[in-house]
Structure 1
Amino acid sequence: MTKKEEKLGVMICGHGSRNKGAVGEFARLAAGLRKRFPDLPVDYGYLEFANPVIHSGLDNLREQGCTRILAVPGMLFAAGHAKNDIPSVLNTYQAKHPEISLEYGRELAVDTRMVQAAAARIQEAIDAAGGDVKPEETLLMVVGRGASDPDANSNVSKITRMLWEGFGFGWAETSYSGVTFPLVEPGLEHAVKLGYKRIIVFPYFLFTGVLVQRIYNFADDVAARHPDIEFINAGYLNDHPKVIDTMQERVNEILEGANNMNCQLCKYREQVLGFEAEIGLPQESHHHHVEGLGDEAECKLCDVTCTGECDSKGADAHTHSHSHEHSHSHGYGHHHHHGDDHGHDHHHHPYPHADHPHGPKSMLKGDA
């Protein structure tokens, strides 16, 4: 096939959620990217808990005549989903359809445009709160998703630092919604001891869902215990134009041949302190058992806006009800050229700090 006969298509690969609001927001992000590539078919799909699934989106592109599909992960950082689970799905599809070329791009990552989007959400919250609290009297708490991959976790800290220096805040801290440490509540309890007048809580998340609502709930709980400090809950990233700009650039990077992930700190390739046992572990996915559950897996406690009601009912994160909080610590390669065996007995390499006093086991109130 000559380059002239080649037909390009773009595929956005998301995680998926039981929350209708999160699924709707991802669909709007995909619609935003379509506007950036008006001459190309653009589709999307999810790993789990929602439809369409990734292979359905790929089918749509192939049926439209696409012979070269550029797939990008709709994810902030390269942890298990971006390094392993999505490539595994793409491997399987490529093996079934060798007539097409399927190429995988990199995550949104640490990018000046992403920092600008984050800054816009924080500034919106400051403007809405009003008052005359100075930046140097303010502490910023950036909350990441949390992963068993220290490289992904450290990227949240880098975002925090760039926002800290950019705004000139008096102090900034990083915490995580799960998997690693420190978690939101112990992180905020530490932060209140530093003596700042205002604390801004900013979830560095793309979309809504139980984890974002849980962050806000913990912030409200800590605020109630410390009424002398002003707490502000900033909005998450959502479909900010700068986010779409970044995703557009990730597609262009594939075309330019500049879409390499950062392997220098990858625990599956290098001797990362504390994670040495995970070098070279096999690439395998564990999402097939919840792929495309759709309506039957949809959260029934909330409508579109997540209230976190599932926490109060003891259901733990309905977006991750099959224990994703554990770690995702089986092996992840950076490229999708290994076969995927969906018949394996998937297991998870133990996260080395699973018993940390400020970590995963203290995620929910009442946990040890």
Structure 2
Amino acid sequence: MTKRVGYLLVGHGTRNIAGQQQFREVFAQFAERISPELAELAFLELAAPNIATAVGQLAAQGATHVVTVPVLLFAAGHAVRDIPIAVAQAAQQCGLKCVGQASPFELSPQVLELSAFRFRQAVCQAASTPSCIERCEGRRCPQIGLALIGRGSRSDEATERMRQFALLRRHITPVAQLEVGFVFAQSPTVEECLQRMADSDCNTVVIQPHLLFEGELVEQLRGQVADFATRYSRQHWLITETIGTDFAHGKSLADSLTTLARQVVDCGESG
């Protein structure tokens, strides 16, 4: 039987329709780049299709092998455990061989630049594409504080990666004060992080969700920021868009995913 690789893009999943559509658009861009290879998308939870359905679709199209491409920021529980287990079970049922799994974005240069672009959109209404924006290295934003808010997990490694990401971001867009907060499992919490910003001397506070797409967590964060903006009106409070909010700039995500996916196949062939 001729070997044919199928690529499975797996997102976390959300009930938020806009977030689902943002993920689907990144998938469409990925599928175009990976063509003529097969590609399908799946959600780990909260949305359809699930992993079993998507793996079945790859098998029905003639795939013999599957490469998993998690669309996640860090290697925590979902990337390390939940996704590979679900894919392995589905692949076994469909008679497919698992080639391997791509790495999450982590400290991807594309994600760093997109994250910086979202900051500039909120603060200075910068140019329309990341490639033509002058980098802010060495140009400190006076009286501006930045709080990067991550999902959070029990993984110490993922938490440290989030903190490393924040430091790299500060190098690209220097600010007067930088804080990192987490929605789950780690400290400081979102409330603690926002309070630190409120207690600072910063005239402008930028809250940036370090999340890929729209969803319940972003909606919740907007409410928390609105509450602080009311209580601490002496400061100007801003919240940025998520990393993959609009389709045009989401192309950078698709480029990064394509590179990560092909690395899995290249390693498999060389091994």
What TM-score, normalized by structure 1, do the two folds share?
0.65
- Tell me, yes or no, if structure 1 residue 209 matches structure 2 residue 219: no
Which residue is equivalent to 1:255?
265
Report the Cα distance in structure 1 between the residues aligned to 2:43 and 2:96, rounded to whole angstroms.
Answer: 23
Return the offset for 1:98: 3.9
Which residue is equivalent to 1:303?
none
- What do residues 63-122 of structure 1 show as CA deviations (whole Å, max 9, x unaligned)? 111112211111111111110000111221233244544422221111111101101111
- What do residues 15-43 of structure 1 show as CA deviations (whole Å, max 9, x unaligned)? 22222222222111111111211212210
Which residue is equivalent to 2:56?
59
**Counterpart residue type for residue 75 of structure 2:** A
Which residue is equivalent to 1:227?
233
Which residue is equivalent to 2:123?
126
**Counterpart residue type for residue 116 of structure 2:** A
- Rg larger for: 1
Identity across matched positions, percent = 22
Which residue is equivalent to 2:204?
198
Return the offset for 1:246: 1.4
Q: For residues 301-340 of structure 1, what are the structure 2 equivalents within 5 Å? A: none
Q: Secondary structure at the match of 1:35?
A: helix
Which has the larger helix fraction?
2
Q: For residues 1-368 of structure 1, what are the structure 2 equivalents within 5 Å? A: 1=1, 5-128=2-125, 135-238=141-244, 239=247, 240-257=250-267
Paired residues of 2:55 and 2:94 also in contact (CA < 8 A): no
Does 75-84 or 6-15 show the bigger shift?
Answer: 6-15
- What do residues 112-151 of structure 1 show as CA deviations (whole Å, max 9, x unaligned)? 111011011111111249xxxx703211110000111121
**Counterpart residue type for residue 41 of structure 1:** L
**Counterpart residue type for residue 243 of structure 1:** L
Report the Cα distance in structure 2 between the residues aligned to 1:128 and 1:166, rounded to whole angstroms.
Answer: 16
- What do residues 227-267 of structure 1 show as CA deviations (whole Å, max 9, x unaligned)? 11111111101152222221111101102218xxxxxxxxx
Q: Secondary structure at the match of 1:36?
A: helix
Q: Secondary structure at the match of 2:202?
A: coil
Q: Secondary structure at the match of 1:76?
A: coil
Q: Secondary structure at the match of 1:12?
A: strand
Segments of 5+ residues of structure 1 without an aligned counterpart are 259-368
Which residue is equivalent to 2:136?
none
- What do residues 312-338 of structure 1 show as CA deviations (whole Å, max 9, x unaligned)? xxxxxxxxxxxxxxxxxxxxxxxxxxx
Segments of 5+ residues of structure 2 without an aligned counterpart are 127-139
**Counterpart residue type for residue 9 of structure 1:** G
Paired residues of 2:14 and 2:216 also in contact (CA < 8 A): no
Structure 1's consecutive aligned runs of 4 or more residues displaced over 3 angstroms after TM superposition are: 97-102
What CA RMSD, in Å, does the superposition of the two structures yield over aligned residues?
Answer: 1.9
- What do residues 282-318 of structure 1 show as CA deviations (whole Å, max 9, x unaligned)? xxxxxxxxxxxxxxxxxxxxxxxxxxxxxxxxxxxxx
Return the offset for 1:183: 1.6
**Counterpart residue type for residue 254 of structure 1:** V
Q: Secondary structure at the match of 1:208?
A: coil
Report the Cα distance in structure 1 between the residues aligned to 2:21 and 2:40, rounded to whole angstroms.
Answer: 14
Report the Cα distance in structure 1 between the residues aligned to 2:96 and 2:213, rounded to whole angstroms.
Answer: 35
Report the Cα distance in structure 1 between the residues aligned to 2:98 and 2:179, rounded to whole angstroms.
Answer: 43
**Counterpart residue type for residue 168 of structure 1:** P
Report the Cα distance in structure 2 between the residues aligned to 1:237 and 1:159, rounded to whole angstroms.
Answer: 13
Which residue is equivalent to 2:129?
none
Aligned pair count reads 252
Report the Cα distance in structure 1 between the residues aligned to 2:152 and 2:242, rounded to whole angstroms.
Answer: 15
Which has the larger strand fraction?
2
